[in-house]
Amino acid sequence: MKRILATLAALLALAAPLASHADSYSDTVNLFKKAGQSATFFDTAYGYAVFPNIGKGGVGVGGAYGKGRVYAQGQYVGDTSMTQLSVGLQLGGQGYSQIVFFQDERSYKEFTGGNFEFGAEASAVAITAAASAKGSTGGSSAGASAGKNDAVAAGKYNKGMATFTIAKGGLMYEASISGQKFKYKPKA
């Protein structure tokens, strides 16, 4: 139990400085528009959910949390949050940005229908330059030799959704099982 509390405290400590960038949604969208293949998804996607700051930490048991916004056909339509719990070999903390594209209205409605969950088998493309890494909702680690704006990524839709991440900082060693759960609240 002490281990879980220490993990959660580390996660909150990591997420707190990231949350201080109050309204960075447009900056994050611009990063993804400049980052390799994720840019092409903006032209064809029905909508997307963008998370400027997700904090992640773990010592055996880990977790991640971030708040985001959902857009449909270019319009801001609601807020979302992402939580993740993972179990396995892991140590450290990191911050990253994430975007989930919706291929069509069906996938958008599936995501915004209440509580949506990616299973452990869902994957995300980790956008880093000169990296050979596989990202997944279970975690990713990669080294990069250039900036995130120089990145080239290869991504595709899986069941109507495509997910990309950009590492912001930190170091996380991980070989774990996890999934991401999203909650959606329409714009008031």
**pLDDT tens-digit map of 87-126:** 888 788 888 999 999 999 999 999 999 778 887 656 677 7
- Range with top average pLDDT, 85-94, 116-125, 141-150, 179-188: 179-188
Could you read off the pLDDT of 51-70 as tens digits, one per residue? 999 998 888 888 899 999 99
Minimum mean pLDDT among 60-69, 73-82, 108-117, 163-172: which range? Answer: 163-172
pLDDT at 35 over 70: yes
Q: How high is the mean pLDDT of the chain? A: 76
SS3 content of the chain, % helix, strand, coil (to 5): 25, 50, 25
The CA angle 119-42-183, to the nearest 5 degrees, is 35
121 or 83: which leads in pLDDT: 83
Q: How far apart are CA 112 and CA 184, in angstroms?
A: 6
Measure the CA–CA gap between 70 and 186, rounded to whole angstroms.
9
Residue 21, SS3?
A: coil
State yes or no: pLDDT of 183 exceeds 90: yes
How confident is the model at residue 87, as a pLDDT? 80
Q: Cβ–Cβ contacts within 10 Å for residue 76, how many?
A: 11
